[in-house]
Amino acid sequence: MSLDLLTYLFIGGSFALYIGIAIWARAGSTKEFYVAGGGVPPIANGMATAADWMSAASFISLAGLISFVGRDGSAYLMGWTGGYVLLALLLAPYLRKFGKFTVPDFVGDRYGSSTARIIAVVCTIVISFTYVAGQMRGVGIVFSRYLHVDINTGVIVGMAIVFFYAVLGGMKGITYTQVAQYCVLILAFTVPAFFLSAQITGHFLPQFGLGATLESGQSVLATLDQLSVDLGFSQYTSGKKSTIDIFFLTVALMCGTAGLPHVIVRFFTVPRVKDARTTGGYALIFIALLYTAVPGVAGFGRVNLIQEVNGPQNTGTAYAEMPSWFKNWENAGLLAWNDRNGDGIVQYAAGAAFDAKKGKPAFIDERGEHGQRMTSNAKTDASFDAAKQPFANEVYVDRDIMVLANPEIAQLPGWVIALVAAGAVAAALSTAAGLLLVISTAISHDLMKKTINPNISDKQELMYARLAAVVAICIAGYFGINPPGFVAQVVALAFGIACASVFPTLMLGIFYKRMNTQGAIAGMLVGLVSTVGYMWYFVFGGGNSADYFMGISPGGFGTVGMILHFIVALVVAQMTPPPSEEMQRIVEDLRIPRGAGVAHDH
């Protein structure tokens, strides 16, 4: 069976499954639409949380990132898993006991202020939209690579599918589709990882394989270190970033994870406080299955790539003899070759082969003498520092290739490649749906029902929720087709806002009875403004890295924003009257699990 047919079969089959589930799990009330009726079993909820959480970035980009930065990638691995410890210990049980539908709902009711609620709504919507744009784009990219359709067609197909189950089923539909999507994506990630690990090290599990010894008698990591240094890269197992920068980045990612509205809302769907804690446990197990395999995939992929391109002698391979994957991905624009020394041999080392930010090639519609794609920004001189590396780098490698092309580089069977395509789509769709739901809920529940017109009926509110979901899907699709040129920074912004604004205000609301409206509003604003301002200045405002505050890069500044938030909120709260006796009693009550409200079964 041809690869195209297999891919259509896998993706088509998975879509049919999602639609089937959506029809089975239609939502009839706002409670079903917002929190799936509040009756999801923790293990299913854990899977749904994992699928919700693991986006196109986790599936496609994370292994690639680690592959190229080595040790410094630890910040992402720890940050994106350690946040669940904070969620399970500090937020989830108490928020569940409070018994609301959304994050702005908690903020608005706890601090008794519609200003606070609206700030939380703004944070929620900004975080979710910045995040969702990348997902739609991810779906489009997978479609164009594997099914040879236009990226825009891919985005539209993705929109249609999400539309179907998010608008029809609400949280209920999304939850059960996410369970299916988790199964697809975890198989799609781990199966190639097993193959790869077994092929290179003889160990089935990539978690062990990365430490294994190769035929040469050296361990995989030692081989990577040596290959990297020989080619002028920095050592794989040592970091380049300063300790303080990594520290702050990790804190920002952890607290940001704990403050993401689409993740928090998943903890509202379980029947009991106890189940909210257990959900955190299950979710992290399911996430860890993928995350602990990532460093293996990153390491093996890197070794494979270097050895395939540079050959066994580490001198390069003639372009004419390059395996077919190289040319396939060159055609897809993720690889490029610039024959700087004119010898017809492809050589890979440190440094940029093309004259642009991050060495990205600008392809033109021409082929060179060996049949390679030509670019308008190829570097012409072939000079290099012979003390550091054996030759000048001639290759551009996009980081995303590590997961997408790995199965081809390792010559795995066609069905594995088709599975990877279906998995990438599942990862993107599940996250997109969760985000869209949060956006629509924030609008229909927190804006319409709680702020603008409290008199609307449940039916009307449900209609607004569906309407808001439709609008949100259209906006997300627009960003998928016309992506802003700064996707990576935008995701850092989402985590920064969640870390500096949402997370501290929830913490204070639960753990500090005396926290009042004024303190909360001041804190959220300070966190939001300082973080957004800092990122804006360094991303768009022309600030350069020499001016970083204490050497902290914009991605880690959310931590500073969080500290400012805590200080300002506490100081302002001391200077203003305490919250009402009634509110203090409610806070005491949310600390006791019993009486979380009877769950609705469905």
Partner 1 sequence: MSISPEQAQAYWKENLRIIYTYLAVWFVASYGCGILFVEQLDAIQFFGFPLGFWFGQQGSIFVFVVLIWMYVASMNKLDEKYDVHE
**Residue ranges that bind partner 1, judged by CB under 8 A:** 66, 71, 73-74, 77-78, 81-82, 84-85, 88-90, 93, 207-208, 210-213, 219-221, 237-239, 243, 246-247, 250, 272-274, 277-278, 280-281, 284-285, 288, 291-292, 295, 588-589, 591-596
Q: What is the rounded distance in angstroms from the CA atom of residue 98 to the CA atom of residue 104?
A: 13
- Minimal CA–CA distance to 100: which of 279, 256, 269? 269
**At what angle are helices 414-441 and 42-53 packed, to 10 degrees?**
100
Minimum Å gap between C-beta 588 and partner 1 is 6
Minimum Å gap between C-beta 343 and partner 1 is 37
Minimum Å gap between C-beta 346 and partner 1 is 30
Name which of 115 and 207 has its Cβ closer to partner 1. 207
Name which of 140 and 556 has its Cβ closer to partner 1. 556
Name which of 277 and 466 has its Cβ closer to partner 1. 277
Residue 346: DSSP 8-state: E
Minimum Å gap between C-beta 221 and partner 1 is 6
Tokens of 602: 């469905």
Name which of 361 and 556 has its Cβ closer to partner 1. 556
Determine contact, residues 599/39, Cβ cutoff 8 Å.
yes
Determine contact, residues 52/178, Cβ cutoff 8 Å.
yes
Q: What is the rounded distance in angstroms from the CA atom of residue 299 to the CA atom of residue 221?
A: 7
For 104-119, the DSSP string reads HHHHHHHTT-HHHHHH
CA Rg, the chain, in Å? 25
Q: What is the rounded distance in angstroms from the CA atom of residue 158 to the CA atom of residue 160?
A: 5
Phi, psi (degrees; rounded to nearest 5) at 591:
-85, -10
Minimum Å gap between C-beta 44 and partner 1 is 17
Name which of 272 and 450 has its Cβ closer to partner 1. 272
Task: Mark out the alpha helices in 163-237 (DSSP H runs).
Answer: 168-201, 206-209, 220-230
Determine how β-strand 363-367 pairs with β-strand 373-375: antiparallel
Which residues have a Cβ under 8 Å from the Cβ of 453 and sit 6 or more positions away?
Answer: none
Name which of 24 and 208 has its Cβ closer to partner 1. 208
Which residues have a Cβ under 8 Å from the Cβ of 465 and sit 6 or more positions away?
Answer: 30, 33, 34, 170, 440, 441, 443, 444, 445
What single letter denotes the amino acid at residue 319? Y
Name which of 85 and 187 has its Cβ closer to partner 1. 85
Q: What is the rounded distance in angstroms from the CA atom of residue 279 to the CA atom of residue 272?
A: 11
Name which of 80 and 319 has its Cβ closer to partner 1. 80
Name which of 10 and 84 has its Cβ closer to partner 1. 84
Name which of 5 and 89 has its Cβ closer to partner 1. 89
Which residues have a Cβ under 8 Å from the Cβ of 89 and sit 6 or more positions away?
Answer: none
Minimum Å gap between C-beta 295 and partner 1 is 4
Strand partners, 396: 336
Phi, psi (degrees; rounded to nearest 5) at 396:
-105, 125
Minimum Å gap between C-beta 136 and partner 1 is 29
